[in-house]
């Protein structure tokens, strides 16, 4: 089964992201707006119990982090994906490192660019038409994230929460 680890922003930011995702993201119905902290990996029923225990240990030693979104950006020309750029900070980078270095699953395929996708799988024309407008409208949002979520993928391609982990639970 496929799994991933994400942080969900507040409903307020999800609503803003979904305003764009409804029109520009074919994955809109499959997953709530999120920031991935560990990409997709495979595990069976037995392995996932060990993974969940390891995530709990990582969550306990990492602190809640500030999620600050202050601009719209794009991965073009690599892919025509548009996203809310999340500002890196020490807590977020430490959490990502702990979940990706010497941790279950493969090492990340790409360098970590914390973000919340608002549009993807666009044609070059669609991308070029909307990126300027979205950058002008912009985004400015800050909140504290105090939990991460282990998700799994259902047969229909949608993602659902397997378990939620509070950050810094022991302290």
- Is 85 inside a domain boundary? yes
The whole-number pLDDT of residue 37 equals: 96
DSSP-assigned beta bridge partners for residue 6: 36, 149
Q: Total domain count for the chain? A: 1
**3 in Cβ contact with 51 (< 8 Å):** yes
Within a domain: residue 115?
A: yes
Intervals of the chain under pLDDT 50? none
Question: Considering the domain boundaries, does residue 113 fall inside one?
Answer: yes
- 162 assigned to some structural domain: yes
Catalytic residue among 34, 96, 127, 149: 34
Whole-model pTM: value is 0.93
Identify the active-site residue in 96, 115, 127, 149: 115
Catalytic residue at 34?
Answer: yes
Residue 169 confidence (pLDDT): 61
Owning domain of residue 155: 2-166
pLDDT confidence of residue 106: 67
Are 8 and 32 contacting, i.e. CB atoms less than 8 angstroms apart? yes
């Amino acid at each position: 089964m496929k799994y991933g680890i994400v942080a969900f922003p507040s409903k307020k930011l999800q609503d803003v992201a979904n305003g764009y995702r409804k029109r520009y993201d074919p994955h809109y119905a499959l997953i709530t707006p999120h920031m991935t902290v560990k990409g997709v990996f495979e595990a069976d029923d037995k392995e996932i119990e060990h993974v969940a225990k390891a995530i709990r240990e990582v969550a306990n030693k990492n602190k809640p982090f500030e999620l600050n979104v202050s601009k719209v950006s794009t991965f073009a020309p690599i892919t025509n994906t548009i996203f809310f750029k999340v500002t890196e900070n020490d807590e977020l980078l430490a959490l990502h490192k702990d979940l990706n270095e010497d941790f279950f699953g493969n090492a990340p395929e790409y360098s970590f660019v914390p973000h919340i996708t608002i549009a993807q799988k666009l044609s070059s024309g669609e991308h070029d038409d909307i990126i300027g407008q979205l950058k002008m409208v912009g985004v400015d949002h800050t909140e504290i994230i105090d939990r991460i979520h282990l998700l799994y993928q259902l047969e229909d391609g949608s993602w659902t929460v397997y378990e939620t982990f509070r950050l810094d639970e022991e302290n």
